[in-house]
Amino acid sequence: MPDTHTSSVFAKRLKQARLRSGLTQEQLGVLAGIDEFSASARINQYERGKHLPHVLTGQRLARALHVPTSFLYEEDDLLAALLTVSARLTREKTKTLLAKAETLAQFSPPSRKPK
């Protein structure tokens, strides 16, 4: 039985990424390597939080959606958005973003609550 909190976070992020990509549930399932006859039903179950896919399936779904796998499991909305933005950057721009984030972190309190 999947952890209901993890399942609901995954469900929310999966649907968010799928809608952003403009894919149907069936299209996403097929792109992720799920049999076309069960693709729509399986993605629907994942998006409703009824089932949590195996991590390898989560990785295939993330690749099909062009998002980092960690995005699908991230609770914090701001961090999830940062993950999707950073995934679109070149390696050099990612290094620049990381350096700037590290500079900002020097002047920030060490903890923050997820939202």
Residue 99 has pLDDT above 70, yes or no: yes
- The structural domains of the chain, ordered by start, are 4-106 (1.10.260.40)
pLDDT of residue 113: 59
Please tell me the distance from the alpha carbon of residue 93 to that of residue 114, in angstroms, as a whole number. 26
Please give the DSSP secondary-structure letter assigned to residue 91.
H
DSSP state of 51: -
Q: Please give the pLDDT value at position 114.
A: 56
Q: What is the model's pLDDT at position 7?
A: 85
Residue 79 in this model has a pLDDT that exceeds 70:
yes
Average pLDDT of span 100-106: 92
Write out pLDDT tens, residues 18-77.
Answer: 999 999 999 999 999 999 999 999 999 999 999 999 999 999 999 999 999 999 999 999
Biggest alpha carbon–alpha carbon distance for the chain: 53
Instruction: Determine what percent of the chain falls in helix, strand and coil, rounding each to the nearest 5.
Output: 65, 0, 35
Identify the sign of the CA torsion 72, 77, 79, 83. positive
